[in-house]
Chains A and B, each alone.
Chain A
């Protein structure tokens, strides 16, 4: 689901209400202005012949009053709208009591998501999927590793820019379980349109269980083929960019793959997470996302299938 007109939390509802208010007021103003215009055209036609100097002076006075009243009403309407905007802004800015803190870093062309925790071992890095507990406010802290991106989940929040070298933040709160889509909303390069993410809101217990599973180090490969795939991974380029917790792979410039098999899509929503999609992605990401920052790896077919077996075992 993907619509700012179907808000799924109290904060998003406020924004949707504000949008509706602006729309309604503008619509009423529009109708009034057009009505006056039509009325003025009709009246001018009737009275075009009968205006003498005295009548003009009187009409002048009248129109001065009309303009004055019109201007006052306009200022009042705008002030009202501005006030409602400020009030909603102030409510949204109020820090909630006990938010879940999540750091979101924009990369060309994917989202790095890190759950903050005072215990370093409990910090959790993942990519392109934001999981949150239903009902609890979540403070998102944004920054960017390269260019300016903008984080937007229409059903849950307005847009917020991710700016290299500084942080911005926004609070979201979702009151019903579900999966909602999001998208980068600031042009950031070749694959801007394929820089998507999903928001998964679930009941608190389910969220905690997910978090515990994700905190565990990568599963040791169980089959012969997956074991060989792990060797391929560790001995080729993958290890220079990706990390798999619990192995020697610890680079941080690309998505963490510790639990890659648990994600529904790969490459920021570009492909479903299936073995064949994984294989074609690893073989030539530039065919799927030209300009993305993962180079093609020309692996022999049996190395590739072993590697895919390893990746799909990373539950």
Chain B
């Protein structure tokens, strides 16, 4: 009796689990997950924002060297939030052009200013370092944008600059540029392992 009554139920379960239904269900689940993911969030104003805290960018907390006495405690990777977010990276890409960074750094390959898509960093590759580079300026010709770029926009540019050498998440990087495509898409380039370097004008052989 028991087996007889459970038979229709089994059939119903089998119907529910048919490959078609399973396919539809998994697509729905994936879409729901995508809605929840930080990649898509768009933050227009910085209120209570995902911009890293002021403390992490105070000059005292910024290091310019990978070397430390004793065991290195320096966290190599800094604030991540903006780098998993497709909107901030693409806003950064737009502002990089609007504020004429490409006039000196080209599309990351470098010109008057050093390349930003390689693994060599004079002033550090952590987000706080790049923030400081943009805001403070650097002695060999990098202008200071202090007061000229609102804080949230600087962080967006930082996220984009880091994405140039593959430091951002692949699925959040822009898959095309707004202007002429002059190099392979960022997502198609390998991630560079950042390392420090002396400024070109330093006492190099």
Contacts and interface: CB of A to CB of B under 8 A. Distances in A.
A237 B178 contact: no
Contacts of B94: 293
A241 B99 CA distance: 8
B199 to A, nearest CB: 26
B20 interface: no
A296 B49 CA distance: 13
B150 interface: yes
Contacts, number: 34
B153 A295 contact: yes
B45 A236 contact: no
A240 B42 contact: no
A241 B98 contact: yes
A236 B147 contact: yes
Contact of A240 (B46, B149, B178): B149
B149 A146 contact: no
B152 interface: yes
A295 B94 CA distance: 13
Contacts of A296: 45-46, 150, 152
A286 interface: yes
B147 A235 contact: yes
B42 A291 contact: yes
Contacts of B150: 237, 295-298
Nearest to B98: A253
Nearest to B99: A240
A296 B42 CA distance: 15
Contacts of B98: 240-241, 251, 253
A251 B100 CA distance: 10
Interface string A285-303: 0110011010111100000
Interface string B138-159: 0000000001111011000000
Interface in B49-103: 94, 98-99
Q: DSSP class of A's interface residues: helix, strand, loop or mixed?
A: loop
Contact of B148 (A146, A237, A253, A293): A237
B81 to A, nearest CB: 18
Interface string A215-249: 00000000000000000000111011100000000
A243 to B, nearest CB: 13
A287 B45 contact: yes
Nearest to B178: A146
Interface in B88-144: 94, 98-99
Contacts of A237: 147-150, 153
Contact of B44 (A241, A286, A297): A286
A284 B94 CA distance: 20
A73 B202 CA distance: 87
A138 B99 CA distance: 34
B54 to A, nearest CB: 13
A293 B94 CA distance: 10
B158 to A, nearest CB: 15
Which among B45, B46, B149, B152 has the greatest number of chain A C-beta atoms within 10 A? B45
A240 B148 contact: yes
B149 A290 contact: no
A153 to B, nearest CB: 28
Contacts of A290: 44
Nearest to B42: A291
A286 B45 contact: yes
Nearest to B97: A253
Contacts of A239: 148
Nearest to A297: B150
Contacts of A146: 178
Given A240-B148, A295-B150, A295-B152, A284 B99 contact: no
Contacts of B44: 286, 290-291
- Of B42, B44, B148, B153, which is in contact with the most chain A CB atoms at under 10 Å from its CB? B44
Contacts of A284: 45
Contacts of A297: 150
A185 to B, nearest CB: 23
Nearest to A251: B98
A295 B152 CA distance: 9
Given A286-B45, A291-B44, 11 more contacts: A236-B147, A237-B147, A240-B98, A240-B148, A251-B98, A253-B98, A290-B44, A295-B150, A295-B152, A296-B45, A296-B46
17 contacts: A146-B178, A237-B147, A237-B148, A237-B149, A237-B150, A237-B153, A239-B148, A240-B98, A240-B148, A241-B98, A290-B44, A291-B42, A295-B152, A296-B45, A296-B150, A296-B152, A298-B150
Interface of A: 146, 235-237, 239-241, 251, 253, 284, 286-287, 290-291, 293, 295-298
Interface of B: 42, 44-46, 94, 98-99, 147-150, 152-153, 178
A-B CB proximity, top 5 nearest: A286-B44, A286-B45, A295-B150, A253-B98, A290-B44
